[in-house]
Structure 1
Amino acid sequence: MTRRTRPRVGRLLVALASAAALAAVTAGGVVYVAGRLRPRGNDAEPLPGDDLLPGATLVETHETMLTASAAAVWPWLVQMGYGRGGFYTFDVLQRLAGVGIVNADAIDPAWQDLAEGDRMCLAEDLSLAVALLEPERCLVLSSQGGSAPADSGMDFDFTWAFVLAPTASGTCRLIVRERYVLHTPAAARMVRSARPVARLMTHGMLHGLRRRTSP
């Protein structure tokens, strides 16, 4: 994030990295499930929200095929967040990281009112801004406009995009993309060292959404 709003993302990444070390031993099934998912998408594929953070120095894209329609998947994306529906990833990692997130197993009408300019919380004192929202098509979150405590974390900006691409058969692809601008060598080291954990969490999210949206 910018120097004015450096959040404690660094601390969250450290917590997740520590949790993953234990989870790799205690949750072999987590790694197995993640390995069955399509691990990477096409980083060069143009997606909504790419223009919100030009000059990204790190881009990572993941995707999976869902058997549900974009209309059926969309409510699950809208209700994500701390204090809302969670992020549908592996519970063991969230518990070990101590982030206090509970994943919902049902759509809650009270969590369906998300709009551009709102904030989605990642933790109790950390949020991202809803930078782009097109119903049943894309949700893009951004560190720019988010909120954070005054004490600093790592110095980077990023966007987190969730894109639904309908297919002719009525199903859809779910594409998740992270784009980073890393402002310092320390930020680059932190983000790159956390990539294996972030990939595992993303795989867990994709698996969780597949399970929740399957007919």
Structure 2
Amino acid sequence: MKKLFALIKINRILATLALIALVMTGYMLWARPYQLNWGATGQEVKQSMPGDQLDPNPEFFATRGITIAGTPEEIWPWLLQMGYGRAGYYGYDILENLGSPRGIHSADSILPEFQQFKVGDGVPISAVANMIFYAIEPNQYIIWTGMNHVGSFIWALYPIDESHTRLVSRIRWSFHWTQPSLLSLDLFTEFTDYLAVREILQGVKGRVENQIEPMAKLNTEFVVYVMSALIFIVTLCLLLIRPLTWNKWLTALAGGVAWLVTWYAPVSIWVGVGLELLVLWRICIPQDFYTKHKLGKTG
């Protein structure tokens, strides 16, 4: 342990904290506002929705939406049957359906056995988490809430015309600052919820419109997201244990930027992959690469 503490000098700690603060500033000022309102119109963000009263002053308030070529009646069954061990979530099944008794794949058809729920019935979110149906208004909206009726997850349908409907999701909750176990889940959700909900919306749209995304594509995206986060974490760890230089600090900063772009930027995921490969290259090149290169030129 003494050797470990000897490796971590105070200047490295300060440099790492400064870098984390800089990346989190980018998240708060740019990525968070974008991801909280992905796909939603200004009117949808401002309008009141059923279930808002469950957390009138939330710390996390996300409204997201998507247009689907279908009627509310066509979309409704796909929403009602969602859940772990039920139809799944139509997204990153490799994580969301892990261990599900119904298998790893989300349903690609309507399941009659999951169409008869009533208010108060449970909604299994994962193998260890549950919510309940707070309200069910057929072909209009579903509200999930916590077991103690705190917070809300709303799925609402708004017809545009005879053949198109807006599917709008809204999440409202407050962080559990005095409960570390719940706070860790809150923070995990803060950063990852956008990826999951966006894919749920797209998954419902794909099923209604009969254009389901290939599982291989979704699994590839999931791996890329995980790798981008891991690369950023690795750069932070290296910043702590290696001698501090501007090159290493900038490499770690690039890792943070690559993570933000990969997860939140409205660009192709392959742009993020390119940035991650550049960061990996910077991590893997020998520490004396530039010195030798300069000496070679001089010679």
Q: 1:188 to 1:43 in 2, by over 3 A?
A: farther
Which residues of 2 match residues 20-35 of structure 1 at below 5 A?
Answer: none
1:205 to 176, 200, 212: 200
TM-score of the two chains, using structure 1 as the length reference? 0.69
Unaligned 5+ runs, structure 2: 1-36, 211-299
Residue in 2 aligned with 1:39?
Answer: 38
How far, CA to CA, are the matches of 1:99 and 1:54 in structure 2?
35
Which of 164, 167, 170 is the aligned partner of 1:171? 164
Structure 1 SS opposite 2:118: coil
Bigger CA drift: 116-125 or 60-69? 116-125
Equivalent AA in structure 2 for residue 126 of structure 1? A
Instruction: Indicate the percent of aligned positions where both proteins have the same amino acid.
Output: 25
CA RMSD of aligned residues (A): 2.4
**Which is bigger in relative contact order (C-alpha 8 A, separation at least 6)?**
1
Distance 2:38 2:111 in 1: 29
| 2:208 alignment partner AA | T
Who is 2:114 aligned against?
111
Q: Is the 8 A contact 2:88 2:96 kept in 1?
A: no
Match of 1:24 in 2: none
Residues 124 and 190 of structure 1: CA distance in aligned 2, closer, same or farther (over 3 Å) = closer
Q: How many residues align?
A: 167
Q: Give the counterpart of 2:145 among 127, 136, 142.
A: 142
The answer for the alignment partner of 1:32 in structure 2 is none
CA contact 1:62–1:177 (8 Å) conserved in 2: yes
Higher-helix-fraction structure = 2
- Specify the SS of the correspondent of 1:194: helix
Give the Cα–Cα distance (whole angstroms) in 2 for the partners of residues 107 and 165 of structure 1. Answer: 21
For 1:194 and 1:123, the matched residues in 2 are separated by 13
For residue 60 of structure 2, the aligned residue among 58, 77, 83 is: 58
Q: Is the 8 A contact 1:82 1:122 kept in 2?
A: yes
1:161, CA displacement in angstroms? Answer: 0.5
For the pair 1:85 / 2:87, whether they are aligned, the reply is yes
Q: Distance in 2 between matches of 1:188 and 1:82?
A: 22
State the Cα deviation string for residues 131-179 of structure 1 (Å, max 9, x = none). 0110000000001348xxxxxxxxxx42111000111233110001110
Cα pair 2:135 2:144 within 8 Å, conserved: yes
Structure 2 length as normaliser, TM-score?
A: 0.51
Task: Choose between structure 1 and 2: higher strand proportion.
Answer: 1
Alignment-derived partner of residue 245 in structure 2? none
Q: Is residue 130 of structure 1 aligned with residue 133 of structure 2?
A: yes
What is the CA distance between 1:57 and its match in structure 2? 2.1
In the alignment, residue 174 of structure 2 is paired with which amino acid? V
Distance 2:154 2:99 in 1: 21
Runs of 4+ displaced beyond 6 Å: none
- Specify the code of the residue in structure 1 equivalent to 2:195: L
Q: Deviations over 1:66-105 (max 9, x none)?
A: 001000000111111111111111224436xx45354111
Aligned partner letter, 1:175: V
Partners in 1 of 2:121 and 2:184 — Cα distance? 30
